[in-house]
Structure 1
Amino acid sequence: MIYAWDNCELDLGRYELRRAGTVQPVEPQVFDVLALLIRERDRVVPKEDLLDAVWGSRFVSESALTSRVKAARRAVGDDGHAQRVIRTVHGRGYQFVGRVIESSPPPRADVPAQPPEQEIRFCKATDGVQLAYATMGSGPPLVKAANWLSHLDYDWHSPVWRHWLYELSARFTLVRYDERGCGLSDWDVPRFSFDAWVDDLETVVDAVGLERFPLLGISQGGPVAIAYAVRHPERVSHLVLLGTYAEGRRKRLSTPEDRELVETRIDLVRLGWGRPDPRYRQLFAAEFLPEGTQDEWQAFDELQRRSASPENAWRFLNEFADIDVSDLAPKVTAPTLILCARHEPDYTFEQSRRLAGMIPGSRLVPLDSPNHLLPARDPAWRQFLAELDRFLPPSRS
């Protein structure tokens, strides 16, 4: 749906606000406030309704709403004095008063009516754990090392991963898998360890029958990809790392308060992950998508629930905290591209910066975003794809 008034357009499908044909950069909450006011323009929208719809169960002050309304007015050429477009009803809320024309955008040629077909198969790790892996797309191979929170079947239906699958499978034969304890792979597993994750990547690559390929590692999939690249330098042609680190949280502690915070975070997963109330899991939505919309947070919460049990979620985080590939990173010989959002929480960018200093000849690309998992509407997502295309050109041998 596209809402047009004066010289402005709010395009819900592309998540864009355009003014005189130029895209106006706005925060997600500003966009959502504007969209809600336009949809409900036949009434005064109470402040409570706006707070609930845009921020959900997150606690924010009324001043946060006031600042977003002010930003929305500024983006569309309005202000609190003129109130030509957004009217304040004191003591009640706000109303959109511009004359709106609704239209549906033409179908985009680059968006498939049906998802690319994927083949889901299973293989067995050396300790008997059954691993689910999938291939989709065509062209040269790209292997994605597994990272926490994936489900081969559900990922396509989730806005967290759907755009990743579409864009990557349009460029490559994408090979991905659910790590042990997650998604369609076995959940009841005897071994939860970093070495087991590297072994599992080996098992999947052998099952697919690949000899040489580029390897993508996102988040904690990055250290796994690094370890595999060192173990099998003859097989990894290129290494791409996004939002990753050399040292898990326990390995980078500097104060007793840091340790207490890390252990409390892990315990919170053990105690709260399985509860129907999503507030405990929203800790991770805020970390992975700090500027996420309410819909994106809900989608991320659903992915968390589907992809892992409370026990396994705790086991994952407990093991992640002890990862350390500082000794392995200098041994990487494959050309390496490292990307990371500049404003990620938990000093992730600093970890990526350190990795760039450890891996010989690697290149660091800062992305202008706070998001750990890049949503489709984030300009950094397009920047990531552009850098990937330059680093892994389709014509490569």
Structure 2
Amino acid sequence: MLAPLRPEGGFCMWYGILGPLEVARNGRPVLVGGPQQQVLLSVLLLSANVLVPADRLVDHLWGDEPPSSARQLLHGCVANLRRALAGADGEHQPLERQGPGYLIRVGPGDLDRSRFDDLVAAARTSGADRTRAGWEHRSSLLQQALRLWRGPVLDGIALESCLPETVALEEARLRVLEQRVEADLILGRHAEVVPELQALTRVHPLREHPRKLLMAALARCGRPADALAVFRDLREALMGELGVEPSISVQELHQQILTGGDGLEDDDQTVVEIAAPPRRLGPRSVAAESHGAAAGEQVIRYAMLDGRSIAWSALGSGPPLVFASWSFSRLEPDWHDPAFQRFVRKLAEHQTVIRYDRWGTGLSDAGPVSSSLAEEVEVLAAVVDAATGVLGVPGAPVDLFGASSGGCIAGSYAATRPERVDRLVLFGAYASGDRIASPRTQEALLTVVGSHPDLSSHILAGLLLPGQTVAERDDFARVLRSSTSPERAAQSLEAAFAFDTRAQLGQIDAATLVVHRRADRVVPVGLGQDLASRIPGAAFVPLDGVDHLPWSGDLDTPARLVIDFLDDESAAAITRRRGRHVA
């Protein structure tokens, strides 16, 4: 157990979640209590210093079928945990009741996760120093961060509903490990990192970057044959599991080793990647292949912007089709939605579908979410640049798909970077968020979303998916509660209301298709018509239905419209007739 950072003699707490749950008061272990109190404390620590509503705590403790007395049982569990944390004197109580929920106060350096984040941020800042001393400092900081880990996140505690948070933390640890190894390679510590990389590649056989680093380390150790064997093993694994080739950067390293090179250059700053792109991508004139990648799992990678990583995924083969992220989109939770996955797979039969987690959400680096439309566009631009580079067509134009508030981001990107967009599809989108609802309605919704997550998640599910079953809406509400905090949800919704692209839409040169369901309860169809009228030459296609999201309800018609529009011959037929109706 690590010692607290505060001076001796004063009251201090220490919490550890990067491994089995640990709690200490003034350096002495604290017995938290039974399984329910451990789960309660774990959930609170995953959202340290942030209010966790009582409804969400009930979900974590009892799942989908809580007892009728769940609220009373929760209060008793909280009371027992408060006694355990406060100690004999009853002072310095870190667990507080606030409004509809509870929060745990954690001071600077009192939680191993916050120490980990601070060390990683310091290492990122030190990256500007390209001297040997700078790399030594970066390696040391990253190693200190890794030493905080004692095992899997909250090992031994059942937290299925917190899976997005725990997966994101584990992913952060792996990225830091890769970055530290890369720094050590630049420092010439090739032999030292080989065993570590061999162990890492055995545990994560489809994770590409450790294999690349291992190839470089072996080559620099004078073992080119072993380095080439690593490439062969990686290629066999990727082709066998995903039907894809290793990425271009790994293939280039392979060629370097074949011609006598020794791997990474000293200034190599390769973006950390997790797997490989599809086998074949190219300009639209090349017919897209449909092979194992379209039928496999999504491929996750990372782009960088202002020192923060952005997680993005690739699925399928063919020209890139980039989904602009909307208010509540998440890479992992969305992928486990059968309807959403079916919609994406349909498109992935013809295109390489690119999606991403916005700043501060999902698998992207923690931190504040984007505060403006301009920042959201910069995030999208970073993903487009990274994706086209990795897929072998750097700087090439892409197709964009924007649903809901993602339509504002896609439209603004297309207006400000016309050379990077070939075709634009907007679904359930709008030109200005202040026209979606009255100011009073917006304020009321933001208040509910920010303070009553259980109620607001069901309200949002009813608005977004009115045509779906109660069970489907309940599933959506549960995923929404587990994948974002009330504060973040309110921030995302407030940003969507503030988006305004009216001054930019006339600058869009890309061929554009605007699709809207006639009875959309979130964004009225008239706002879709208004959006199309502001974009030169845009086609507007209204569809029957009430659901706001294209993958809800009849997803086959929206998918077919997108596929046809992105096909040269079909697109001409659609764009020749504005306002065409599809029955």
Residue number among 403, 407, 410 corresponding to 1:225 in the alignment: 410
- Determine which of 382, 391, 397 is the counterpart of 2:565: 391
| Aligned partner of 1:261 among 433, 437, 441 | 441
Q: Is the 8 A contact 2:311 2:364 kept in 1?
A: yes
For 2:338 and 2:498, how far apart are their aligned partners in 1? 30
1:281 paired with 2:470, answer no
Aligned equivalents of 2:483 and 2:329: distance in 1? 6
SS across alignment from 1:234 = helix
CA distance in 1, matches of 2:568, 2:313: 21
Residue 342 of structure 1 is matched in structure 2 by 518
| Residue 51 of structure 1: aligned partner | none
- The aligned counterpart of 1:164 is 343
1:394–1:153 distance in 2 versus 1, CA, 3 Å: farther
**Aligned-residue offset at 1:369:** 0.5
For residues 332 and 158 of structure 1, do their structure 2 counterparts lie closer, same or farther at Cα, with a shift above 3 Å needed?
same
- Structure having greater relative contact order (Cα 8 Å, sep ≥ 6): 1
Look up the equivalent residue of 1:303 and give its one-letter code. V
Judge conservation of contact 2:343–2:556 (CA < 8 Å) in 1.
no
- Number of the residue aligned with 2:297: 117
* 2:430 counterpart (217, 221, 245): 245
Alignment of 1:68-87 (within 5 A): none
Q: Which 5+ residue runs of structure 1 have no aligned equivalent?
A: 1-109
What SS is found at the alignment partner of 2:362? Answer: coil
1:365 is aligned to 541
Structure 1 residues 335, 395: CA separation in 2 closer, same or farther (over 3 Å shift)?
closer
Determine if the alignment matches structure 1 residue 329 to structure 2 residue 505: yes
Q: Tell me, in whole angstroms, the C-alpha distance in 2 between the residues paired with 1:240 and 1:394.
A: 14
1:302 to 462, 474, 478: 478
Q: Secondary structure at the match of 2:456?
A: coil
The Cα shift of 1:346 comes to 4.1
Equivalence for 2:420? 235
- Inter-partner Cα distance in structure 2 for 1:384 and 1:131: 28
Alignment match of 1:272 (pick from 447, 452, 466):
452
The partner residue of 1:207 within 386, 409, 418 is: 386
Distance 2:452 2:540 in 1: 36
Written as runs of structure 1 = structure 2, the 5 A alignment for 1:32-181 is: 116-126=296-306, 128-181=307-360
Give the drift of 1:368. Answer: 0.3
Unaligned 5+ segments in structure 2 are 1-289, 571-583
* Aligned residue identity for 2:472: E
User: 1:364–1:199: structure 2 CA closer, same or farther, 3 Å change rule?
Assistant: same
Counterpart CA distance in 1 for 2:529 and 2:475 is 30
1:313 is displaced (CA, Å) by 0.6
Task: Tell me if the contact between 2:324 and 2:406 (Cα under 8 Å) persists in the aligned partners.
Answer: yes
Opposite residue 119 of structure 1, the aligned amino acid is V
Please say if 1:182 is aligned against 2:361. yes
Q: Report the Cα offset of residue 172 of structure 1.
A: 0.9
Q: Post-superposition shift, 1:303?
A: 2.6
Match of 1:196 in 2: 375
1:87-106 C-alpha deviation (Å, 9 max, x unpaired): xxxxxxxxxxxxxxxxxxxx
CA distance in 2, matches of 1:375, 1:137: 18
8 Å contact from structure 1 (residues 116, 169) kept in 2: no
The offset of 1:123, in angstroms, is: 1.8
CA contact (8 A) 2:404 2:428 kept: yes
CA distance in structure 1 between the partners assigned to 2:331 and 2:512 by the alignment: 26
Give the structure 1 partner of residue 556 of structure 2. 382
How well do the aligned residues superpose, as a CA RMSD in angstroms?
2.5
2:469 paired with 1:293: yes
Please tell me whether Structure 1 or Structure 2 has the larger radius of gyration of its CA atoms.
2
- The 8 Å contact of residues 316 and 348 in structure 2, kept in 1 or not, is answered as yes
2 CA distance for matches of 1:330 and 1:357?
A: 9
Which stretch of structure 1 is more off in the superposition, 338-347 or 116-125? 116-125
Q: How far apart, CA to CA, are the structure 2 residues paired with 1:349 and 1:383?
A: 17
Aligned length, in residue pairs: 275
2-structure distance, mates of 1:388, 1:336: 11
Q: Shift of the alpha carbon at 1:215?
A: 0.6
- Residue 346 and residue 158 in structure 1: after superposition, are their counterparts in 2 closer, same or farther (change >3 A)? closer
Q: How far apart are residue 394 of structure 1 and its match?
A: 7.5
Distance 1:150 1:166 in 2: 17
Structure 1 residues 154 and 262: CA distance shift in structure 2, 3 A: closer
Higher strand share: 1
Report the alpha carbon displacement of residue 298 of structure 1 after superposing the two structures with TM.
Answer: 2.1
TM-score for the superposition, normalised by structure 2: 0.45
Contact preservation (8 Å) 2:522, 2:548: no
Aligned counterparts of 1:190 and 1:389: Cα–Cα separation in 2: 32
Verify the 8 A CA contact 2:427 2:550 in the aligned structure 1.
Answer: no
SS in 2 for 1:179: coil
CA separation of 1:143/1:347 partners in 2, compared to 1, >3 Å: closer, same or farther? Answer: closer
The question of whether the paired residues in 2 share the 8 Å contact of 1:149 and 1:182 is answered with: no
